[in-house]
Amino acid sequence: MQIFVFVCVFMIFGLVIAYTRTKTLQGTTMGSKTLTIHSNLPVAEAYKRLCNGVGKFAVADANESRQAVLLTTKPTFATWGFFYPVFIVQSQAGCQLTVGIRSRLFQVGPLVTRAHKECVAAIEIQLGSPSIGQDLPSAQVV
């Protein structure tokens, strides 16, 4: 019974911390996990589309001079929630987006990888992916 009470208190305390934690692009690092997306869109257009929101991922911060957007998800019963820094740079045929992931508290395991891939998939949809039947320029994960 004491272990159960300890776990419940820990979970409540962790959720309170995760819900109240905010982040800006200024102090954000990419982390060790990154995925790269290539798009035919110009950098300014990709930035504008991400600033409009990306599916269930809210925009926590955006910096036009750095061409960077910080996406976020709230904590759930399965995760503490995540921050997703997205940095956009010019490439030869459009732009390259590097998407990182940072937990709001701490998180390891397959849930991190799944959340990261879900974010990248939502970004691809926002940028226009032909795999979903849109006629917009394509984006590819590399």
- Which tens digits make up the pLDDT trace of 85-126? 999 999 888 899 999 888 776 666 677 788 889 889 999 988
Q: What's the domain count of the chain?
A: 1
Confidence (pLDDT) at 114: 85
Q: Which CATH number is 70's domain given?
A: 3.30.310
DSSP string, 94-137: EEEEEEE-EESS---SHHHHHHHHHHHHHHHHHH--GGGT--SP
Mean pLDDT of the chain: 77
Domain that holds residue 83: 2-141
Of residues 25 and 142, more confidently modeled: 25
Provide the whole-model pTM. 0.76
Pick the closest to residue 120 from 42, 33, 41, 61 (CA basis): 33
Confidence (pLDDT) at 85: 92
